[in-house]
Amino acid sequence: MVNSAKVLRAVSILCGTLVIVGMLAFLYGYFANGYAALTGIGIGVAMGGVFIFIMGIFLVATEEVVEKNKRKTIS
């Protein structure tokens, strides 16, 4: 349980940072200088952060279910 909390905390910090950096790159590319490439990179970084977050939650949830099933079969 403690290990799952550590993984979830690390994933949330990493993904929060990625989403913020992606938003800043998108806004800078779209409004400040008009570079379409920077706009696309910003969208990609933000979407990557969301994807990593979803995969991290899935990993933690899967680990909890497997651990619960192990405790059931041992008892």
Q: Which pLDDT tens digit goes with each residue over 3-62?
A: 888 999 999 999 999 999 999 999 999 888 777 889 999 999 999 999 999 999 999 999
Tell me the whole-structure pTM to 2 decimals: 0.83
Instruction: Give φ, ψ of 65 to 5 degrees.
Output: -65, -45
Identify the residue whose tokens are 């400040």. 32
Q: What are phi and psi of 34, to 5 degrees?
A: 75, 15
70: containing domain: 2-74
Burial 53-63 (b: 16+ CB within 10 A, else e): beebeeebeee
Q: What phi-psi label fits residue 34: left (phi over 0), alpha (psi between -120 and 50 degrees) or beta?
A: left
Per DSSP (E only), the strands in 1-75 are none
* Total of domains in the chain: 1
